[in-house]
Amino acid sequence: MPILKTRLENTYRMGPDKGCEFDAQRVQRVLEGTLAHALGSSVYSPQGNGPLAQSLTELLQNQAKEVVPPRYKLVCHVVLGQQGQQSLLVASRGLWDPETDSFASATFSNASLFAVATVYGVYFE
């Protein structure tokens, strides 16, 4: 018996429902709590930070998915580095609809490392 493909019809919805927008402050609180819990007393390691950044990105994205309404695509970006006397500026640009799309960002630092995490929420129909 052939497998039938599910066909979805367009909703012709151009924006999120009232009250279902990306809440940047709520996502920021989730990011801050997750970074503090996951990195608490972690020590910087040049070899170990690549896998740590990847696992942290997945963790943050999964945590953010729980508080973001449906129909939003999430992009998570994490920067990890050694704590020292340097300065760092993290910037980004994107093409999106300022009425529906937004982002949340949080930082964490301890005596050994720093982290900057950003989650972008882009409305998708």
**Contact at 8 Å (CB) between 64 and 76?**
yes
Q: What is the pLDDT of residue 1?
A: 66
Domains and CATH numbers, the chain: 24-123 (3.30.1140.40)
Instruction: Please answer whether residues 84 and 125 qualify as being in contact, where contact means their C-beta atoms are separated by less than 8 angstroms.
Output: no
CA distances (Å), origin 122, targets 4, 56, 71, 83, 107: 31, 21, 8, 32, 21
Q: Kindly report the pTM of this predicted structure.
A: 0.84
pLDDT at 36 (0 to 100)? 95
Q: Tens-digit pLDDT profile for the chain (125 aa)? A: 677 777 767 777 778 888 889 999 999 999 999 999 999 888 998 888 889 999 999 999 999 999 999 889 999 999 999 988 888 888 888 888 899 999 999 999 999 999 999 999 999 87
Residues in the chain: 125
Q: What is the dihedral of CA 67, 64, 13, 101, to 10 degrees?
A: 120
pLDDT of residue 79: 94
Give 69's Cβ-side CA count (13 Å radius): 18
